[in-house]
């Protein structure tokens, strides 16, 4: 039987970074955990929703040979998608309004630095979980 994801270790990280909604799944698409509330994130087509549970196996394939984390926009929300140890893929959503910058390039740098910090924090928790299984 699979060891459940360490929710008690993930929740403080997700809360500290202001994540609204998160999906964690095996690379085959089997959802391990959804966290938060997706109701504020517009979903014009639930099958194409970035991070939708039915989308996670495709998300994993889309991350092949990419710099991670990958950033995508869903309405007024930014989503980062990444994978851990070729075993787990995740999508994390938060509001884009938090990023203010004088130029579009500076805003992109700020967003990416934030996403990288968030991704590193989540990866650290998940790497411990993957290695302990």
What is the DSSP-derived secondary structure letter of residue 96?
A: G
Structure tokens that stand for 27 in this block: 């690379």
Cα–Cα distance, 8 to 52 (Å, whole number): 23
pLDDT score, position 55: 62
Contacts with 126 (C-beta within 8 Å, 6 or more apart), sequence order? 5, 10, 24, 84, 85, 88, 90
Cα–Cα distance, 54 to 60 (Å, whole number): 12
pLDDT per residue of the chain (133 residues) written in tens, 0 to 9: 367 888 999 999 999 999 988 888 887 778 888 898 888 777 644 455 555 555 666 666 666 665 567 777 766 778 888 888 777 888 888 887 666 767 778 877 888 888 889 999 999 999 888 887 6
pTM equals 0.77
């Amino acid at each position: 039987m699979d060891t459940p994801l360490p929710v008690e270790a993930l929740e403080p990280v997700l809360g500290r970074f202001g994540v609204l909604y998160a999906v964690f799944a095996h690379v085959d698409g089997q959802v391990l955990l959804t966290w938060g509330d997706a109701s504020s994130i517009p979903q014009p087509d639930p099958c194409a929703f970035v991070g939708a549970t039915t989308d996670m196996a495709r998300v994993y394939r889309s991350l092949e040979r990419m710099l991670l984390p990958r950033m995508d926009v869903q309405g007024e929300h930014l989503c980062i998608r990444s994978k851990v140890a070729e075993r787990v893929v995740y999508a994390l959503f938060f509001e884009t309004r938090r990023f203010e910058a004088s130029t579009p390039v500076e805003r992109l740098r700020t967003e990416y630095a934030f996403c990288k910090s968030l991704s590193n924090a989540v990866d650290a928790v998940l790497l411990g979980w993957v290695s302990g299984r």
